[in-house]
Amino acid sequence: MLDDRGFPRQGYGLRCGGVEIGHVTSGTFSPILGKGIGMGYVRHDLAVPGTQLHVALRGNEARATVAPLPFVKK
């Protein structure tokens, strides 16, 4: 889930501590949450809810937090 403005898109890089650690597999804007959400592949030790990451957005970086699925409870 993005903490900053922006939309994660397929293929965008995921970084932790300035090091590329994975990539976004799918992402979009969630009108219910009012922010960008996405899924991606990262190392197992970084896939813990609450982990802070960065998403490479067209030359910039946006802060993101690993969240458990589903993003929205029924």
What pLDDT digit, counting tens, does each position of 16-47 carry? 988 999 999 999 999 988 999 999 999 899 99
- How many Å apart are CA 24 and CA 36, to the nearest integer? 12
pLDDT digits (tens, 9 = 90+) for 6-15: 889 999 999 9
Mean per-residue pLDDT of the chain: 91
Q: Which residue range is the domain that position 47 belongs to?
A: 13-65
Question: What is the value of pTM for the model shown?
Answer: 0.85
Give the CATH number, domain containing residue 17: 2.40.30.110
pLDDT for 54:
95
pLDDT for 8:
92
Domains of the chain: total: 1
pLDDT for 14:
95
- How many Å apart are CA 71 and CA 49, to the nearest integer? 11
